[in-house]
Amino acid sequence: MITFEEFSKVEIKAGKILSAEKIPDTDKLLKLFVDFAEDAPRQIVSGISMYFQDPQVLVGKTCMFVTNLEPRVIKGHESNGMLFAVSTAEGEFSLLEPNASIPPGTIAK
């Protein structure tokens, strides 16, 4: 259990995926460039490759991301956030996508 104060430190924003590509020599990793209505897109590394035969289907989608994590280097690629998604033990998977009217950079409350 965490306190409400601890949880309130987590920044969750809508981000529009501008590009998506598989990271070579990995089974799970995709490199995403995501627009959060900041000065420049952020690179996010996410372990969701197994759910997308063609990563290009992600381009243009607006999803929810944690945006205030410390950067982390994964297989030589810096990741500046974390994609929110859900999956079941049976292999069902879903991205968390806000309503289409929500613009990039919108903070979850």
At the topology level, CATH places domain 13-95 in OB fold (Dihydrolipoamide Acetyltransferase, E2P) (2.40.50)
What's the first-to-final CA gap in the chain, in angstroms?
20
pLDDT digits 0-9 by tens, 20-31? 999 999 999 999
Domain map (residue ranges) of the chain: 13-95
For 57-88, give the DSSP string. GGTT-EEEEE--SPPEEETTEEE-SEE-EEE-
pTM: 0.94
Q: What is the pLDDT of the chain when averaged over all its residues? A: 97
Share of the chain above pLDDT 90, in %: 98
Per-residue pLDDT band for 36 (boundaries 50, 70, 90) equals very high
